[in-house]
């Protein structure tokens, strides 16, 4: 059975993508969760990861001893390994568009990532409102998300970005977590999309585990008044 190395579910947006993808698609795997720590070369987190991946970061997929790291590479590997799961859209142009938006998410949206870090357990509406008032770069990232999701849903007819569930929805599931937890308003059609994503069994299972974790890390909690 494949093994998927991940970090804390409350915080690790990168880990969430392949975990949700595999869970939602019905790909069996063993979860190996490594608690975030100081990330120094001698830390337990780094030591454990470096045994399976030279990158020393989560997520890492291990298939019969062969390691694949990086969310995009893992997704492509799974799409090729399990073609019957139809993880990318079947239409060539839709497939190219899905790869484009996943690559855009993978490489971009730095302001959104930095100032609205994923924290599934938290409710940070006041923080979200302040960040949007003060950060034009976050506003620009949000505007691009709104434009992208609107265009994709209109083109596909929904209910998800490319009609049926695909890698693209797994890639944007952490964005849904960010926008909803920071109380960021989006048009009604996109709010409906956010609800549909959170209702997906794979996403709902991740959220349930994240809420049960109760492992609050100070360096991941810039906005929490008190960590327990």
The pLDDT assigned to 37 comes to 82
For the chain, the domains span 2-85, 92-212
Strand residue runs (E) in 40-153: 60-63, 66-69
| Residue-wise pLDDT tens digits, 63-109 | 999 999 999 999 999 999 999 999 999 999 999 999 999 999 999 99
Is the predicted pLDDT of residue 227 greater than 70, yes or no? no
Averaged pLDDT of the chain: 94
Is the predicted pLDDT of residue 51 greater than 80, yes or no? yes
Q: Residues 14-28: what's their mean pLDDT?
A: 98
CATH (residue range 92-212): 1.20.1050.10
The predicted model scores a pTM of 0.94
Q: Residue 52 class from Cβ within 10 Å (0-12 exposed, 13-18 middle, 19+ buried)?
A: middle
pLDDT band per the 50, 70, 90 thresholds, residue 44: confident
And the tokens for 176? 């849904």
Q: Residues 8-26: what's their mean pLDDT?
A: 97
- What's the fold here for domain 2-85? Glutaredoxin (3.40.30)
H helix or E strand, kind and range, residue 54: none
């Amino acid at each position: 059975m494949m093994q998927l190395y991940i970090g804390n579910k409350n915080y690790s947006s990168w880990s969430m993508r392949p975990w949700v993808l595999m869970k939602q698609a019905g790909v069996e795997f063993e979860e190996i969760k490594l608690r975030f720590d100081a990330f120094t070369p001698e830390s337990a987190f780094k030591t454990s990861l470096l045994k399976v991946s030279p990158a020393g970061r989560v997520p890492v997929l291990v298939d019969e001893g062969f390691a694949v790291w990086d969310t995009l590479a893992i997704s492509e590997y799974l799409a090729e390994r399990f073609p019957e799961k139809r993880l990318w859209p079947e239409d060539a142009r839709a497939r190219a568009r899905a790869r484009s938006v996943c690559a855009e998410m993978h490489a971009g949206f730095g302001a959104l990532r930095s100032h609205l870090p994923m924290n599934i357990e938290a409710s940070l509406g006041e923080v979200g409102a302040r960040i949007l008032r003060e950060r034009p770069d976050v506003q620009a990232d949000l505007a691009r998300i709104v434009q992208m999701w609107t265009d994709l849903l209109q083109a596909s007819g929904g209910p998800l970005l490319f009609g049926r569930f695909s890698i693209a929805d797994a890639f944007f599931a952490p964005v849904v977590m960010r926008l909803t937890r920071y109380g960021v308003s989006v048009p009604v059609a996109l709010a409906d999309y956010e609800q549909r994503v959170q209702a997906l069994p794979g996403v709902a299972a991740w959220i349930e585990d994240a809420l049960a974790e109760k492992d609050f890390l100070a360096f991941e909690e810039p906005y929490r008044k008190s960590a327990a």
